[in-house]
Amino acid sequence: PEFDLVIRNGTVATASDVFGSDVGITGGQVVALGRGLGAGAKEIDATGRLVLPGGIDSHTHIEEPRGGPTVNADSFASGSASAAVGGTTTVIGFARQERGGSIAQGVAEHLERARHSRIDYGFHLILTDPRPEILEEELPRLVEQGHRSFKIFLTYAGARITDDQALEVLAAARRLGALTCIHAEHHELIEFHTRALLKAGLTAPKHHAWAKPMVVERECVHRVCAMAEALDVPIQVFHVSGGESAEEIERAQRRGLKVWAETCTQYLVLTAEDLDRPGFEGAKYVCSPAPRSRADQAALWEMIRRGVIGNITSDHAPTRYAGPDGKSAFGEDAPFTRIPNGVPGLAVRMPVLFSEGVVKGRIDLPTFVSITATHAAKLFGLHPRKGTIAVGSDADIAIWDPAKRVTITQAVVQDANDHTPYEGFEVTGWPETTLVRGVPVVEGGRVVGAPGHGRFLPRGPYEMIKPRGIFPGPFNPVDGVPA
Ligand code: URP
Ligand code: ZN
Ligand code: ZN
Ligand code: ZN
């Protein structure tokens, strides 16, 4: 046979084109496109199916140690299985620095955990304590080893850094050619609201959203855009949750800044009302930023169509709900401040976006490919190896049944959590087969890929995140020279 594998008679979609084509795969890479390709040692009939680049979920918390008593429900084996069930073939997770500790050690430990991944992976480096020796000694080595993105939190007591520290991280990122991803919420404003809510006895899950109204995010998004402008450094703003924050991103982009933004599945389908479900159920919907309104969802779709928001991630952050008695493990009378933040969503990201986006006519198929795979590949230095179907690319492919109807349940998503906030949500379109470098990880909805098939993806320097070389004043404060 001419090829290891041929996917025959499908409709291939990329971020720019949709065309009928076979896909010839050898050595884990796409080596030929076109109709009537020669024989493969193995063949998959994709008649009536879409052949899509495997998804890239560039914001996932998998097997990540978190401060406090709660644990991340997923291992790399379970998280990567769930991702592949939903058509995702690459995840970017997080290696974390403990305060007072070393990020190099956090990376070494996380590389060991990630060896059990079934799909390919990279890390963003969470910097909780950016001391000079970390920025000047550890980070240059880690960037050299292919960890080319950082994550900073401007809120969360255990992870946040100050604006002073954020500026030092941004300056280091500019010098090193790395991209900084930012969790942007006004910490003190959240704390002020929270103290007042607790004092007033307003402690239910829904009050989580009351503690962080949109202004908390909008102000901080504006602030980080200003920092990026002043230091002439590119940034990615994480989990933009609604219209007002997205407008800040759009204004920054109109000024020509390299400011990019993601939103997440949950902000397109959940609202603040989900936090007000009966009993303690609302705890399953606590994430930060908080889910907003239907109007915000419509605004986000519009910003996706305009290209202001470039990619959609899951921000998969699984914490089991039930303790041994089936009731909430955090206590059914726990104040919202004790509920772990974050929702799971690795498996549902692509199906929900396909169904709510393409099937409902909000976006076209190339836009779907862009927001689920191609843009993230470009932004994080993985393109063209990842994020597209082209000769020379890795054969990371989701063979998609566009008509399949699925009701999402915990059994469908196959992660190690005990609930999904999308329980009962109906979608049209689901991947049938997911290939990572030409090897099936999911076949007919069944996980067949072995833990350990995934590879670490080192990321070298790339054009997209180079600084513009334009400062707002006559001075370059990063290098201390005239601009
Ligand atoms: O609520 C969330 N999003 N938890 C996960 C950590 C983060 O903020 O991204
Ligand atoms: Zn191991
Ligand atoms: Zn965050
Ligand atoms: Zn996150």
Q: For residue 182, how far is its CA from the centre of ligand 3 (angstroms)? A: 7
User: Is ligand 1 within 6 A of the CB of residue 183?
Assistant: yes
Which residue from 472, 477, 459, 475 is spatially nearest to 177, judged by alpha carbons?
459
Contact 318 CB / ligand 1 (< 6 Å):
no
pLDDT at res. 71: 87
Ligand 4 centroid distance, CA of 216 (Å): 17
- pLDDT in single tens digits along all 483 residues of the chain: 999 999 999 999 999 999 999 999 999 999 999 999 999 999 999 999 999 999 999 999 999 987 666 789 999 999 999 999 999 999 999 999 999 999 999 999 999 999 999 999 999 999 999 999 999 999 999 999 999 999 999 999 999 999 999 999 999 999 999 999 999 999 999 999 999 999 999 999 999 999 999 999 999 999 999 999 999 999 999 999 999 999 999 999 999 999 999 999 999 999 999 999 999 999 999 999 999 999 999 999 999 999 999 999 999 999 999 988 888 888 888 999 999 999 999 999 999 999 999 999 999 999 999 999 999 999 999 999 999 999 999 999 999 999 999 999 999 999 999 999 999 999 999 999 999 999 999 999 999 999 999 999 999 999 999 999 999 999 999 999 999
Q: Which ligand has an atom closest to residue 76 CA? A: 2
Q: Dump pLDDT digits (tens) for 287-329.
A: 999 999 999 999 999 999 999 999 999 999 999 999 888 888 8
Please name which ligand lies nearest the alpha carbon of 266.
1
Contact 132/104 with Cβ under 8 angstroms?
A: no
CA distance 73 to 320: 6
Angle between helical axes of 214-231 and 163-176 (0-180°, round to 10):
40
Radius of gyration of the chain (CA): 22
How remote is the CA of residue 288 from the centroid of ligand 3, in Å? 7
Per-residue pLDDT, 87: 99
Question: How far, in Å, is the centroid of ligand 3 from the Cα of 23?
Answer: 37
State whether the beta carbon of 343 lies less than 6 angstroms from ligand 1: no
Please report the pLDDT score of residue 410 as a whole number. Answer: 97
Residue to substitute in 288, 316, 338 for testing ligand 1 pocket (most ligand atoms within 8 angstroms of CB): 288
> Which residue has its alpha carbon closest to ligand 1 atom 2?
342
Q: How far is the CA of 459 from the centre of ligand 3 (A)?
A: 22
Ligand 2 geometric centre to CA of 59 (Å): 22
Quick one: tokens of 238? 């994480």
Does the beta carbon of 288 lie inside 6 Å of ligand 1? yes
Measured in Å, residue 48 CA sits from the centre of ligand 1 at: 38
Q: How far from 255 is each of 26, 375, 429, 441, 470, CA to CA, in Å?
A: 45, 21, 38, 43, 11
Q: Is 341 in the pocket of ligand 1 (CB under 6 A)?
A: yes
Of 136, 175, 134, 129, residue with least CA distance to 153: 129
Rounded to an integer, what distance in angstroms lies between the CA atom of residue 438 and that of residue 455?
13
Query: With contact defined as beta carbons under 8 Å apart, do 423 and 410 qualify?
Result: yes
Could you tell me if the CB of 61 is within 6 A of ligand 1?
A: yes
pLDDT score, position 325: 87
Q: Whose CA is nearest to atom 8 of ligand 1?
A: 288
317 CA closest ligand 1 atom index = 5
Q: Is 151 helix (H, G, I), strand (E, B) or coil?
A: strand
pLDDT in tens, 328-379: 888 888 999 999 999 999 999 999 999 999 999 999 999 999 999 999 999 9
232 in ligand 1 pocket by Cβ < 6 Å? no
Is the confidence metric ipTM above 0.90 for this complex? yes
